[in-house]
Chain A
Amino acid sequence: DGGITQSPKYLFRKEGQNVTLSCEQNLNHDAMYWYRQDPGQGLRLIYYSQIVNDFQKGDIAEGYSVSREKKESFPLTVTSAQKNPTAFYLCASSSRTQGYTFGSGTRLTVV
C-alpha cells in the first residue's frame, strides 16, 4: 500500500541534543513537507521540498534542518538551537492535483 511512514512514533530528546525524525514515502510524490502541531494551534510549516536536492524554509524553520537527497525521503533534524521542540511533528507529501497525504506523526518530548 502507498503511503508515508514516519519514525519513530515517540522520541525523547535531552537538552542540547540533536535528533532526526524520519519520513519516507512510496507515493512517487515530488513535494514533501514538515509541519509542527502544538495544542490549540494550527499546523505550522517548518520546511518543504518541491524536488530532490531543493528545499525552502517555512514559517518556523529556525532550529530545524532538512535534506532531500532522495525523492522518497525527507528527514527533519531538530537541533539544539530549537528552544521549544516539544510538539507533534507531521510529514506530508503531495501531487499537484490532490490533497496532502500525511504520516502518522512523531511526538517529540524534551526530557
Chain B
Amino acid sequence: SQKIEQNSEALNIQEGKTATLTCNYTNYSPAYLQWYRQDPGRGPVFLLLIRENEKEKRKERLKVTFDTTLKQSLFHITASQPADSATYLCALDMIRTGANNLFFGTGTRLTVIP
C-alpha cells in the first residue's frame, strides 16, 4: 500500500530563514504531487502542483522540487514569516492505481519564530 512520510511532525525555524519540508513516498510512482497549507480548524488550501517530468516549481517565496528517483519532494519557504506558521501537507495522485483521488501525508507543523 502507499505510504507517505513527511519529515518531523513539527519544525521550528527563525523568522527570515528558509524552511525546508520533506515528503518521501514508497510503493508508488505518482504522475504529480501537490502541496497544501492547513491552518487549525480549517480545510487545506492548495499551494503548488508539480508533475513527474518537472524538477522544480516556484511560486513567490515557495519552491517545490520533485525527485522521482529518490521518491522525494522538498518544499521550501524562503524568507519565512510568522504568518507562514501552519501545517503543510503533501499529496500524491493515485491515477496509476485506477483511482482518481489524492493520497495525503500526515503533514508537518511549521512554526516560524519571530
Contacts and interface: CB of A to CB of B under 8 A. Distances in A.
Among A90, A98, A99, A105, the most chain B Cβ lie within 10 Å of the Cβ of A99
Interface residues of B, number: 22
B113 interface: no
Interface residues on A, range: 20 to 34
Interface string A94-111: 000011111111010000
Nearest to A9: B41
Q: When A and B form their complex, which 3 residue pairs have the shortest distance between CB atoms, in order from nearest? A: A99-B46, A102-B43, A43-B104
Interface of B: 4, 9, 34, 36, 41-47, 49, 89, 99-107
Interface of A: 4, 6, 31, 33, 35, 40-45, 48, 50, 56, 58, 88, 90, 92, 98-105, 107
26 contacts: A31-B100, A33-B101, A40-B9, A40-B106, A42-B4, A42-B103, A42-B106, A43-B104, A44-B104, A45-B101, A45-B103, A56-B99, A90-B44, A92-B43, A98-B46, A99-B34, A99-B49, A100-B44, A100-B46, A101-B46, A102-B44, A102-B45, A103-B43, A104-B42, A105-B42, A107-B41
